[in-house]
């Protein structure tokens, strides 16, 4: 079973989501969670999630800190992981990999999803290695060419 559980962002945990922190050099690699939640408010294809340790599974109100945030998009046959961040206090413990695998599992349950995609900034070596390990390969999609600093990936199915 996954070491993370994904839970909705609600009035109860909104501030915690907004207050999570990244390392100084990581902030340029991902949009702030406030921007992601604003985008999700106006775009019903976006699904934001709070990431908690698996010990919160089955509890209506989590007792421990949120460890991260993720958001995916379901559009045009593609389940696309738009955001993944783990608070700097909880990085390096396996939560990022587990959360990515959990959003992939969730997206695959949706009948409209024909393939899984994601992207990262070209300087983001940690994300690059993590996504490769999970099974992502380069995705040659025409519209991506205008985003020159972003690397686009798709999940290679066996
Ligand atoms: C990318 C990110 C989500 C990874 O989360 P994490 O919980 O630290 O990752 P994990 O503990 O699951 O580790 C995943 C892999 O990354 C590696 N890793 C994690 N932090 C690292 C670091 N600071 N330096 C080098 N490697 C690192 C781990 O070694 C692991 O690889 P391994 O299993 O082969 O050893 C996190 O670093 C983060 O939030 N970064 C800033 C935002 C970002 O870049 N998001 C992704 C692109 S949108």
What ligand 1 atom has the least distance to the C-alpha of 67? 7
The pLDDT score that the predictor gives to residue 81 is 98
The answer, as to whether pTM is greater than 0.85, is yes
What is the per-residue pLDDT across 2-60, written as a single tens digit (0 to 9) for each? 999 999 999 999 999 999 999 999 999 999 999 999 999 999 999 999 999 999 999 99
In angstroms, what CA-CA distances link 68 with 7, 91, 106, 109, 113? 11, 9, 17, 22, 24
CATH architecture of 4-155: 3-Layer(aba) Sandwich (3.40)
- Give, as one character, the DSSP assignment of residue 39: H
Q: Whose CA is nearest to atom 8 of ligand 1?
A: 91
Please state, in angstroms and rounded to a whole number, the distance separating the CA atoms of residues 114 and 44: 19
Helical residues (DSSP H) of the chain, grouped into ranges: 14-19, 33-42, 95-108, 125-134
How many angstroms separate the alpha carbon of residue 91 from the centre of ligand 1?
A: 7
What is the per-residue pLDDT across 86-110, written as a single tens digit (0 to 9) for each? 999 999 999 999 999 999 999 999 9
The pLDDT score that the predictor gives to residue 158 is 55
């Amino acid at each position: 079973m996954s070491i993370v559980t994904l839970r909705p962002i609600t009035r109860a945990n909104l501030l915690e989501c907004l207050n999570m922190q990244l390392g100084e050099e990581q902030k340029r690699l991902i949009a702030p969670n406030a921007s992601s939640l604003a985008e999700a408010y106006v775009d019903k294809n976006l699904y934001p999630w709070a990431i908690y340790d698996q010990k919160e599974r089955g509890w209506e109100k989590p007792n421990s800190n949120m460890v991260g945030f993720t958001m995916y998009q379901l559009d045009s046959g593609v389940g696309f992981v738009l955001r993944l961040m783990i608070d700097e206090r909880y990085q390096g413990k396996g939560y990022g990999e587990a959360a990515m695998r959990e959003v992939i599992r969730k997206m695959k349950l949706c009948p409209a999803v024909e393939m899984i995609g994601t992207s990262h900034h070209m300087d983001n070596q940690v994300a690059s290695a993590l996504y490769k390990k999970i099974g992502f390969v380069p995705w040659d999609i025409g519209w991506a060419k205008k985003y020159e600093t972003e690397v686009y990936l798709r999940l290679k199915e066996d």
